[in-house]
Structure formats: structure tokens, C-alpha cells
Structure 1
Amino acid sequence: MDTSNSHGIVNVPPSLSYFCVYNPSLGGIDDSQGDQILYYTSKRTVPMDVKIRQVGLAQGLYELFSIAAPYCRVFSPTKPCENVHTQKNRLAFYEPEPDYWIHISIELGYVKKVTKDKEGKPKTTIDYLDSNLHDSGVKRMLELGYEMYRIFNGPFEYTVRTAGIKTLKNKLEEFFANWVFEWDFEKTELTKTVDGILYMPLSDSAESQIMSFINQVQSDYEFISDMFVIWQNKLVYRGNGAIPVNNVRGIWRHLVSYIAERDEHDREIENSRKSKEAEKASTFMSFTRNISGSNLFSYFSSSTTPKVSPSTSPTNSTSYNPSFQPLEPNGSSSLLSPSTQIFIPGPSNFLLGPTNLHGPDEDIQPVKVYLSKNSSGSSIRTVNHQHDVKHDVDESDIEEYYLVAYKQNALTLVFFIPLNPLEGSAKIQEMVFYRSFHNYLSSQSEEIIKILNENHEKTKKLGRTDIDKEYRYLFFNKMTLAVKSSLYPFSSNGSLISSSKGLTITSEMAHALCELHEDLERYPQLTEIYTRSSTNFWIVGKRSEGRVLYIVVPKKEASLAEVEDDVRRITAIYFSGNNIF
């Protein structure tokens, strides 16, 4: 959104110019060049010849700076060109699979000023804000897009081999049509670039009881090959290690949005219930004050008599179709008899699974995911640019699962059911299984909820609140993708919101953090960087054995030696033994 002030200065944020997925090998000759474009979207209507020219320019720039120009290797001997900066645009390229490219063009934000020249005539100047858009943040957006797409749709080449080009185009359209336009290019801060998983640490006793519960579930339902346990949006248990950590992150991120949606729906239902109870109580009090022999008949015959019926129930604002569940009567204070209970919309406990346990089998739409069998690597890329080697997608490395998620209070249980053997695949198509599974989980999970709640309370008491208030930090473990941050507190849906307590991260601080991160990534031999801003706050980046810690020290008058003492104190907490949290 454009913003302006009283001084005639207009600020325009960065925005999407166009986004596309293409494969040059699919359009070799002039008449078929358009065939290489598998998906394209832009903020404006663009004819096909312009799309072809844009894709051709992208290929030319990549070849110029990465392959055809040896002098460019001086700056990046092992990495290909991933970003091109122009005066008005930022172009980014990402090849997640051999010959399949994800390409984006972003219109830079700018500041437009109206001034006067030497003769006093109005003069308009435009300053494009190239430095406000960080390459690392844009790169992570493209990687995340592919990561999420691959989990829920399979690799591009896998789809072409098994279902054809047309199916791939349809899947790309369904996935990216809305997803691309949700990107906020103004907020490419460090917390989005360093994209990790929120874990909840467990005490030894809690971990033992959770594992006992998991083993019992998988013993009773042998076709369930793996499980996740999530508590208040934090990952408690990430499975037996067979699922690659990138896939774990993608599924966790996907489920957090479902959990937030369900929590919002539940809050609406609870607020509606309280509102109806208040309305009934108010009606009853008014009735007892005004009722008399003379107006009794007129009261009941009045057209304004409050009524409660299913038609006054709140509508469902979420994407699923809820079942109907009765509200429990509130004892003797209720004005309604059991035969006139209020029915309001309410979903089943399954986040992924049937929305109505009393529906037919045809209403079940199982969610399928495509995961890699290789659990040792954290990267899902299949292109090795260092040696210019491209590996074909190995279909035998892809494992297909059905995903079922069950939520009770703050607990979410996630189940992975392989397509083969067929026992589990058949059961999740039957409503009778979900009814039985619901009864089983609702009775078994009560004790787990109690254990996790107690563990959560103990964790809060042990929290380092003094450091959280005095400093701002972000910790990231590249091996487990675990992240812990006090830069911004996390909201209920796992996203980050501005802080109202302690030090506030300004736009200048956020910008400096991103620049420091990019420097650490650019020079892997560095283990720590100290930098001081123009407003005299300190920002530190420290790296050790796959773990990195970023710290904002808001002590303007502190010397480098004093800041180093502060950093040593903080790293003693986060880098000592297994105490990474």
C-alpha cells in the first residue's frame, strides 16, 4: 500500500511483478517456446510473447553470470547466479530439479519526492530502495514454495512421469495461484530467512511417558508407520527419524495454519455460546421484572419476543464444512429444556480427515504427502551446481503417505499411514475407522494433555526472562532446524508479531540482522561478526558446529570488550552441552 506524508513524500513498498515455473527443454524451437512455461502469474495481464521474452531474458542472465562469463566465478566459484539487481527490479532464480526453474521478478519499493529546482519549479525524484530487499529472504521464499509444493504434490518430474505435463500444470496452478500473492516483500526479516521449527523441550519423565503413549498407539494400530506430537504449535516429537527434517518442517508449518484456523473457529463458537447465555439471562431478568397479570398475554404474543433457533447460529468462517454438535445444558439456570437444546456448528476433532464423523464414506478426502526416504540429508534439492552435475529424480526415493491429524485441546497428533501395505490405505477410506479412532484417541490423550501442560508450566518457570527482556536474540540449529527467538514473540498461529515488552526491534535493526546473516552465509570460514549501527546498538553473529546465534545488544555506550562479555554470558547458556534451549 502506498503511503504519503505532509511533506509530499510517497513511500511505495516492493511488489510482485511476475512469477513463473518453466522448463527450457520443453520448448526448443520457436513455434513451441511457450510450451516451456508451466505456470505464470503477474500483477498485470501479459501476452504470451512477453512471457516468452521474460523467460528468455531470465535464461540469458543466468547463463551470462553463471556459465558464459568466467570472470564471474571470481566472486562465486561454486554457486550459480541466484539474483540479479537492476535499477527498478530484483530477479531471482532457483532450480530445485534438473531443468525446472522457479523465477520471480519483484518491483523494488521506492520513495517519491516532490522538490523544487533552481528556478523554483516542481521536480519529482524517485529513489529505488534496492538495499531494503534482501537476497537471502527472497531465496528462502522460493525454496519454501518448492518445499511445500513437493511435500503435498510430489516433485515436478515425478508428476510428469506418472501423470503427464497437463497434470503438473494443474497442480502448479492450484498451489501457487494464491500462495504467491500472500508474500510480503517488505518483511524479509531474519526470522523468515532463518526458517526453523519451534520445539518444546521435555523433561525426562515427560519424554518417557510420551514415548510410552506413542509406542502404545503404534502397537494398537500397526499400519501407522510414524507420528508427530504437537503441543501449542510446538513440535514435541518429530517421529522415529525416517522422515527428513525438511519434510518435518514443511508438514509442521502446514499444520500450524490448520491449528490456528481451528482455534479461531473454536473461539467463535465459545463467544457465540457466551453471548447466547447472556442473552437468555437478560431475557429472563427482564421477564421477571415486568411480568404481571395484565401484561402476561401481551408479552407472549409480542412479535419482539427473543427466540433461539438454529438459524441464528454463527456461520462457519473456515474452509471446512463442520458437523453439528449440541451445547451441553448449563444446569438449572438454563431456560431451555433438553428437547430444545441449541445446535451450533462445530468441527470434528480431525484437522486432516473427515469433518463430520456421521457423514458417508464418500465425504472422506484423505490428504496425501510425498516424502523422501533419505533421512540423512536436510536438503531436498537434486541439483549439484558445484560440479555442474544434475541428478534425475529417483522415483524409488519417494514414499507416499496418507496424513491424518487429530486435535484435542492444545494437543495435535499427526499420523503417517503408507499407501502400501494396503491395510491402512483401505481403513482411512472408511468412516467407521475414524469413529473408532476418535473414541480411542479421546480417551488415551487425556493423560498426555495433562503431562504436556505440566511440562509447559515447568518450562515457563525455567525460562531466561532476564535475557529475553534485556537483549534480543535468535538461535538456529541447522541440523535439527530448531529455532528459538526473542526478536519477536510468536502468536497463536506460529507467526511472529511485534513485541510490546522490553527492547523493540526497529526496521534498522532488522535490516542490520539480515545483512549480518548474509555475511556469515557468504563467508563460511567466519565464526563470529560484531557490528555497530549508526545509532550505536551492537549486533553480533556467532557460529559453532552448525548452530548460529544472533544477538542485538542495545547498549549504546558499551565498548567492544563489554559486548563480548555479554555475548559470552549468553552463549554459555545456548552453546553449553545439550542445553541449546
Structure 2
Amino acid sequence: MMVTQIIAGLKNFFIFNSTLSTKEGEELKKILYYYPVTDNTDVQIKNVGLVEGIVQFTDTFRPSSPVSSLHTNKTRHLYYQPEKDFWLVMTLKLNRPTKEKELSNESEDLEDDIEDSVYQALLKQAYLMYRLFWGTFRDAKNTDALKMTLELFYRAYLQSMKLANADILNMFSGIQYLPLDKDCFLKVQTFVNCLESTYDFIIHTSFLYNDYLIWSGIEPSDMQVVYQYLIGTLLPANVEAEMQGGSIPRNSPSPFAALRHGRFITGPSNLKLAQTVGKVPKVYLFANGESQEFYLVVYRALSATVCLFIKGDTELNLELFKTLDDVINTKLINIVSDIADYCSKQVITPNLSDTASRYIYFNNINLAYKSTAHLDNKQSGNLACPKESVRIAAEMKGNIPFLGQAGETIVKTMNDCWVVMKTSNHREFYIALQQKNASLIDISEEVKKLCDTELKGIFFNQL
């Protein structure tokens, strides 16, 4: 059985804190944010009360394992407690067969097609993205201020969530790195060091080429969230704006080719016409467990993106941006040209056939990932292998804690495809093979070849 669209949409999303009110009749005070606004207060209170009851019940019988989900016939409920007493709840509407006969035959299959861990990751990401721009919930001055910022943020954020296309990549929330030769990498590092040593208000710098990270001066856990914001929201929005404005030819092989002179993406986009510094977001980083506030100034030239994390108490003015523009643009153009030249000389992977093996790799140490199973990194649902294989990979990932530090799992699907997971040294490797008549020995040999080719035999211990 194949279901074309399992997730029908978002039924509700809310945030509450039970300690905000303990008096009967004042239950509404517990609710900090609730979507949709069309649900009346009775429905809101009822939904929050249900979650409170479930949380208390599981705390009583399984205090070491907090509740994370609830399954019903037509919905899937996800729970996440990011801070003490604060709960995020997301309820998904499911497409269910309408006829009783269809329901009995397909209900179990549909149940298996939704991986809780994937949507748990989405819920966690929703919190981390809020925290990036507003800090923790407890950092808010008061309850009213918290409600206001939650409303401002989630009103737009919930519209951008791609629920139907969520998969194992959401569980990783990984970073794509661009490996360079030592000369190119040294030029990038020298450029970053020069900026930070010249301007003491620049505390950290990150450097990207297209959607690939080359250098980051912030903690991987912080960069993970910043990276998702950059490639998922900020950069795509600006590329589209440039196309609509006519500054980039739509048929250009590289949308960045026309941008010979760089510009600020956050801050004054046109320094010649700007009267103010424009919008410069503040972000919160959490190295060593303590929040630090920075301005996030993003500059782009050609295919490169430079993120400057500037002290939060720095006075930003047009003169400062003009100075940075002069320094960054001059040095950046040459560096990007060298990177582009290096990349053009690398071996290009030939177009793979529809039945070729596909893989997903993830490194838990530096959060790097690579996927040939996905045709892009836009969470568009464009896959180069059966969706079922990617779903099974997500299910396998959920079983990693039971495998120990190293292990291998092989699954044959109902469609005669094979899915293999190898884990070792904090690395994970998932392979989808479309070889219907292959034996287990054939699959093991194919996986070994793929590991030797793509991972060069250095990531996995011999089992």
C-alpha cells in the first residue's frame, strides 16, 4: 500500500506552562501561544488539559522517559519540553481511508508510514529557531512580552514548515561542508583572521560557498541552527528577490554570477542610497551553556556568503558598513574566484541511473551530512530513491541506541528494495539499493564497495 500524502496538515500548535496558573477558572493563563486562532478558548483549554493529564500520567509511571507522542486514529500528537515547565505541542492531521473496509486494511500500514522521530525533530527545530532570535523562554522580561514574541515568530514560522516532505534529514539537521585544498582553505582562514583581528567587534565569522560551509567560528550546535536559517530562509528569499528585481538573469547557470560586487543581505542592501542601516537581526548563541547576544550581519558576493557575529552592544552605523564593504569585497572576490576554479577542476560525479545505489551519510561529531538520495537540499520531496527507503532509514536511526557503538542493519522492503544502515565512530551511513534479485551476500558486497568508494574505508571499524 502506498499513500500519496499521509500528513494532511497541521491541526494545532501550542505552547504552555502549567505553573503560570493553578487556580480553577484561570486555565487560559497557562497558554502562551496557540494556533489556530479559530479554535475557541474552550477547545484550547481542553487540548492543554489533555496534554497535562498525559504528562502527569507518564511522569508517574515512567519518570525517566518523558512522553513524546500520542497516536490516535486521525491525528498524531508530538510533545517537547525544551525548558523546565514549558511544553511545545504539535498535532498533525492524517489522511485516513474513509470506508470501514479500507480503514481495516490500511490503518496499520499508514501507522507505520509516519516516523515520530522525524516530527519530533521538526518540533525541536521550531524551538531552536525561536531561541536563535529571541533567546530562551525564561529570558523574556515577563509573560506578556513572551506571548508577544511567540506570536510574532510563530505566525510566520508555522507557514514555512514542510510537514509532508519531512524525513531523516530533519533528524540530522546537518550541515553540508565543502572540502577544499589546503591553499584555498588557508586563504579563507586568513581572510577570517584578518577581519576578526582588524575589527574587535567581530567576535565570530562563518564562511559559506553556495550552500556549503567552509569555515565556522561558532560552536557546531549553534552553527547547525544558523545554517538551517541561512539555506532554508534567508538566502533563498534574497535570490528570489534579486531575480524579481532583474539583477540576476533567470537563465543564468549560476544565480550569483551577476553579483560582481558584494552587498549586505542583513543591513543596508544598497549603501549608495541607504539612509539607515536597515534591519540587522540579533541572534543568541549558547556556547558553554550561556547565552550571548550578537548582531548577525550577512554579506554576499558571487557565490560566497560571509556571516559576521558582531557584539550585541556595538553601535551600528552606515560608516561602519561602508568600511566593511570596502574591505570584504576587495578580498572576497579573489578568494571566491580561487574556490570556483578549484571546484571546477574536481571530478564530477556522472549522472546515476534510476536504479543506482543511493546513500545518506551523517557525522555526529561535526554534524556534516551528504545525500545522494535527495535531489536537492530544499526539503522539496524530490528523491532519487523510493520514499519508503528513506522512511525505513529514519526508523533505523531511531534504533541506533539499541545497537551499541557500532552495528549494521539490513532490511528488505515489500517492493524488493534493500536498505542498509552502518554505524561506527559516531558516523552513520544509510544505503538504498534497488536490486530485486540480489542475495544478502550480493548486498553486503555492494555496500562494502560503496563504503570503500565514498568513505574511503576510514569511517568504519571492521565488525
- TM bin, normalised by shorter chain, reads 0.7 to 0.9
CA deviations on 1:369-396 (whole Å, 9 max, x unpaired) are 111121xxxxxxxxxxxxxxxxxxx7xx
Tell me what 2:135 maps to. 154
Q: Deviations over 1:41-82 (max 9, x none)?
A: 02x722212211211110111222x2222xxx4xxx843210
Which residue is 2:114 aligned to?
Answer: 133
Q: Please state how far the C-alpha of 1:113 moved relative to its aligned partner.
A: 4.3
**Residue 151 of structure 2 aligns with which residue?**
173
Secondary structure of the structure 2 residue equivalent to 1:400? strand
Which residue of structure 2 lines up, in the alignment, with residue 4 of structure 1? none
1:259 alignment counterpart: 235
**Residue pairs, 1:200-215, within 5 angstroms:** 200-215=178-193
Q: Deviations over 1:197-218 (max 9, x none)?
A: 1111111111111111112222
Aligned counterparts, 1:99-114, within 5 A:
99-113=85-99
Q: Which residue matches 2:331?
A: 444
1:47 counterpart residue number: 40
Task: Give, in angstroms, the shift of residue 168 of structure 1.
Answer: 0.7
Fraction of identical pairs, as percent: 24
Residue of structure 2 in register with 1:489 after alignment? 375
User: Partner of 2:458 in structure 1?
Assistant: 577
Structure 2 residue 416 is the aligned partner of structure 1 residue 536:
yes
Once the two structures are TM-superposed, the CA of residue 14 in structure 1 deviates from its matched residue by: 2.5
Q: Partners in 2 of 1:543 and 1:86 — Cα distance?
A: 33
Quote the Cα distance in structure 2 between the aligned partners of 1:165 and 1:141: 25
Name the Cα RMSD after superposition.
3.0
2:75 alignment partner in structure 1: 89
* 1:234 corresponds to: 212
Task: Name the aligned partner's letter for residue 373 of structure 2.
Answer: L
2:170 matched residue in structure 1: 192
Identify which range, 150-159 or 13-22, moves more after superposition: 13-22
Contact 1:95 1:102 in 2 (8 A): yes
SS of 1:451's equivalent in the other structure is helix
Distance in 1, Cα, partners of 2:182 & 2:4: 57
Indicate whether 1:403 and 2:296 are aligned: yes
- Name the CA shift for 1:11/1:199 in 2 (closer, same or farther; >3 Å): closer
> For residue 219 of structure 1, what is the aligned residue in structure 2?
197
Give the aligned residue type for 1:131. D
The two structures have a TM-score, normalised by structure 1, of 0.71
TM-score, length basis structure 2? 0.88
Deviation at 1:252, TM superposition (A): 1.4
Distance 1:219 1:11, change over 3 A: closer
Q: Is the 8 A contact 2:358 2:372 kept in 1?
A: yes
1:512 aligns with 2:392: yes
CA distance in 2, matches of 1:113, 1:39: 36
Superposed, 1:353-392 pairs within 5 Å as 353-359=267-273, 362-374=276-288
Cα 1:127–1:468 shift into 2, 3 Å: closer
In 2, are the aligned partners of 1:476 and 1:484 still within 8 Å (CA)?
yes
Corresponding residue SS for 2:234: helix
Equivalent residues of 1:10, 1:113 under 8 A apart: no
Tell me by how many angstroms 1:498 deviates: 2.0
Query: Which consecutive residues of structure 2, in runs of 5 or more, have no partner in the other structure?
Result: 252-257
1:309-324 map, 5 Å: none
Aligned residues: 447
* Structure with bigger gyration radius: 1
Matches within 5 A, 1:422-571: 422=313, 425-426=314-315, 428=316, 430-459=317-346, 461=347, 463=349, 470-490=356-376, 494-496=378-380, 498=382, 504-521=384-401, 523-524=403-404, 527-571=407-451
1:37 corresponds to which residue? Answer: 31
Distance 1:561 1:266 in 2: 52
CA contact (8 A) 1:230 1:412 kept: yes
- Which digits, 9 at most, give the CA deviation of each residue in 1:8-51, with x for residues without a partner? x9977432111100001001111322111000002x72221221
- Residue aligned with 1:81, SS: coil
Between the aligned partners of 2:100 and 2:120, the Cα distance in structure 1 is 34
Residue 254 of structure 2 corresponds to which residue in structure 1?
Answer: none
String of CA shifts for 1:305-351, please: whole Å, max 9, x gaps. Answer: xxxxxxxxxxxxxxxxxxxxxx9xxxxxxxxxxxxxxxxxxx98111
CA distance in 1, matches of 2:274, 2:264: 15
Secondary structure of 1:30's counterpart equals coil
Aligned partner of residue 166 in structure 2, secondary structure: coil
Amino acid of the structure 2 residue aligned with 1:52:
I
Q: Could you tell me whether the CA contact under 8 Å between 2:296 and 2:308 is conserved in 1?
A: yes
Structure 1 residue 126, shift from structure 2 partner: 9.7
Would the alpha carbon gap of residues 253 and 34 (structure 1) be closer, same or farther in structure 2, given more than 3 Å must change?
same
Consecutive unaligned residues in structure 1, runs of 5 or more: 1-8, 116-122, 276-326, 328-346, 375-393
Whole-angstrom distance in 2 between the partners of 1:272 and 1:373: 38
The answer to whether the Cα contact below 8 Å between 1:349 and 1:408 also exists between their aligned partners in 2 is: yes
Cα shift at 1:465: 6.7
Does the residue aligned with 2:293 lie in a helix, a strand or coil? strand
Aligned counterpart in structure 2 of residue 349 of structure 1, from 256, 263, 278: 263
Structure 1 residues 578 and 138: alpha-carbon distance in aligned structure 2, compared to 1, 3 A threshold:
closer
Q: Tell me the distance in 1 between the aligned counterparts of 2:103 and 2:92.
A: 23
- Sort the Cα spacing of 1:13 and 1:98 in 2 relative to 1 into closer, same or farther, 3 A: closer
Q: Do the aligned partners of residues 58 and 559 (structure 1) sit closer, same or farther apart at CA in structure 2, a change above 3 Å counting?
A: same
Q: Judge conservation of contact 1:15–1:108 (CA < 8 Å) in 2.
A: yes
CA–CA separation in structure 1 for the residues paired with 2:172 and 2:262? 35
In 2, Cα distance between equivalents of 1:51 and 1:520: 37
Letter aligned with residue 292 of structure 2: E
Aligned equivalent of 1:3: none
CA distance in 1, matches of 2:245, 2:437: 52
Structure 1 CA distance for aligned equivalents of residues 238 and 97 of structure 2: 40
| Alpha carbons 1:405, 1:413 under 8 Å: kept | yes
Question: Which residue does 2:255 correspond to in 1?
Answer: none
